[in-house]
Amino acid sequence: MYRPEKQVVTARKGIAAAMLVGVVAFAPPAPAAPAPAAPCRPVQAEGETYTICTVDLRREKVRVFWRGADGQPYSSLSTLADKQGPSLRFAMNAGMYDKDQAPVGLYVEDGRELKGVSTANGPGNFHLKPNGIFYVKGDRAGVLDTARYLRVNPKPDFATQSGPMLVVDGHIHPKISSDGPSQKIRNGVGVRDDGRTAIFAISEHPVSFGAFARLFKDTLGCRNALFLDGSVSSLYAPALGRSDLSRPLGPMVGALAR
């Protein structure tokens, strides 16, 4: 028997299906994932101002830099930034070096040991034992005193040696006084216990070793932290419009977008 009302219902279903297909076909694309937050920000501690740069190694890569493709030291943060381009999220100096801008201790880049571990005694901050090593292996980082690093032998992708350690297993270096007379602009690095978060810091004004060590231990929650320098401390942070000038640099460390 002929039933026109059934044809009408079927036709309406067909039109509705076609409209649904059209909606799906012409739906706007999903919004892009938000860009990562700027890594660097100001922090106050004990009345002093610091800039800290926090890196989640699951989202960003941390590595050290020394020489460019021409075999010459980068020497400055601005040169490093020009060579690395916009993927460089921030950078700072990363350990002591000699008159030829070569690291005075361990330096590992892309898994290759370009300078060996130094266990020598001598003058200056580098030799204020225990000194230590900041290293990166995959998406984890660590700070270990030099003797422990040699025992653990983590075989890092990147590493730099400096000294002294600021915080060792939750305790401030035994030879660092609470507030000694030496006041300098200082920078350093600490790592949270999970190894996924590295925190770099630079003081905005001269501070004592003790105040700088307490920044990492008490304010930033790092059980292990390493002093990087106190005479050439400088920072490149494009999100802050900052590119510090300094004397020619040796090793540097920075974060790159993955």
pLDDT, residue 28, reads: 57
pLDDT > 50? residue 194 = yes
pLDDT > 70? residue 5 = no
DSSP letters along 58-111, please? Answer: TTEEEEEE-B-TTSSB--SHHHHHHHHGGGEEEEEE-S-B-TTS-BSS-EEETT
Q: What percent of the chain has pLDDT over 90?
A: 81
pLDDT > 60? residue 132 = yes
pLDDT > 60? residue 30 = no
Rounded to the nearest 10 degrees, how much is the dihedral formed by the CA atoms of 80, 82, 88, 93?
20
Average pLDDT over residues 209-228: 98
pLDDT tens-place string over residues 48-94: 999 999 999 999 999 999 999 999 999 999 999 999 999 999 999 99
pLDDT, residue 193, reads: 84
User: Which residue, among 97, 168, 83, 88, has the nearest Cα to 126 in the 3D structure?
Assistant: 97
Which of the four pLDDT bands, split at 50, 70 and 90, describes residue 19? Answer: very low
pTM of the predicted protein model: 0.86
pLDDT, residue 25, reads: 45
Average pLDDT over residues 25-39: 61
pLDDT, residue 35, reads: 56
Total number of residues shown for the chain? 258
Mean pLDDT, the chain, as a whole number? 90
Average pLDDT over residues 164-184: 95
